[in-house]
Amino acid sequence: MTSKWVPLEASPDVFNEWSRSLGLPDSPLSFQDLFSLDEEFLQFVPKPVKAVLLLFPQRGKLAEARKEEEERGEGKWDGDVWYIKQTIPNACGSIGLLHALLNLPSSGEYALKQDSPLIHFKTASVPLSPLDRAKLLDKADFFEAAHTVAAQSGQSAVPQGEDVDVDTHFITFIEAENSKGEKRVVELDGGRNGPFDRGLCNDLLKDVAKIVQDKYIAQSDEINFTMLVLAGDQE
């Protein structure tokens, strides 16, 4: 029987607390709010941008449009990224964080702390299928503990896990190379069949902004969207 986790609040403070407790260094990266998709505003987001997270309403016209994309066979990915299926209810925020953090470089200034819980989990999960990674995650007590602490650190009242049902969903966008060496925008959603190729990547933030405008906001009957970036520390 899988766990049921309290959904994470879409707050940079919550995401940073969760991530730093499990292996994200105090600098030079942090999760930050993205308040606008206006190109002029995007210029002020600190560099580099390593991941963009989107929280959106997964219902109605938008849900149908996303389903039809996969039914048409669009977005097939042929590169190497770390991806996990979501089988734990209400854990889409943590799945989104894992997709952002476990696709960071393995070494250098943007890498996770060596010998951290996240590094140990990634090492154990790399040989596994996305579904078996989910099974491993469900057995990893420290993930659920970190999730609970982070959820309780938000500004909103924390609902009781078994009584929670949410209709919004987190996904993550990263830049990755496909088998041809092309830089692509890859959408990572544990609810999809696998990583989804969103096209050439020239500037991750600007490219994702256009994708969200065209493929999400324009196809939704609602305006309940929240975005975060994993980017260079703010000055």
Q: What is the mean pLDDT of each run of 10 residues along the chain (235 residues)?
A: 63 90 94 94 95 91 90 92 91 90 96 94 96 92 70 52 62 97 97 95 97 93 90 79
Position 140 scores a pLDDT of: 84
In a domain, 1, yes or no: no
- Could you give the count of Cα atoms lying within 13 Å of 98 in the half-sphere of its Cβ? 28
92 noted as active-site residue:
yes
Q: 92, 99, 147, 201: which is the annotated catalytic residue?
A: 92
pLDDT recorded at residue 221: 83
Tokens of 209: 């902004």
Q: What SS3 class is residue 55?
A: strand
The answer to whether 52 touches 189, Cβ cutoff 8 Å, is: no
Choose the catalytic residue: 99, 147, 169, 201.
169
From residue 137, give the alpha-carbon distance in Å to each of 19, 41, 83, 104.
Answer: 15, 37, 12, 19
pLDDT at 162: 45
Report yes or no on 154 lying in a domain. yes
- The residue segments making up the domain with residue 171 are 12-232
The CATH number of whichever domain residue 46 belongs to comes to 3.40.532.10
Please indicate, yes or no, if residue 115 is contained in any of the structural domains: yes
Using only C-alpha atoms, the chain has a radius of gyration, in whole angstroms, of 17
Residue 97 maps to a domain: yes
Give me the number of domains the chain comprises. Answer: 1
Please indicate, yes or no, if residue 96 is contained in any of the structural domains.
yes
In a domain, 220, yes or no: yes
User: Does a structural domain hold residue 6?
Assistant: no
Residue ranges of E strands in 122-165: none
H or E, element range at 68:
helix 60-71
Q: Is residue 57, in this structure, part of any structural domain at all?
A: yes
CA atoms within 13 A on the CB side of 11: 14
In whole angstroms, what is the distance from residue 130 CA to residue 3 CA? 17
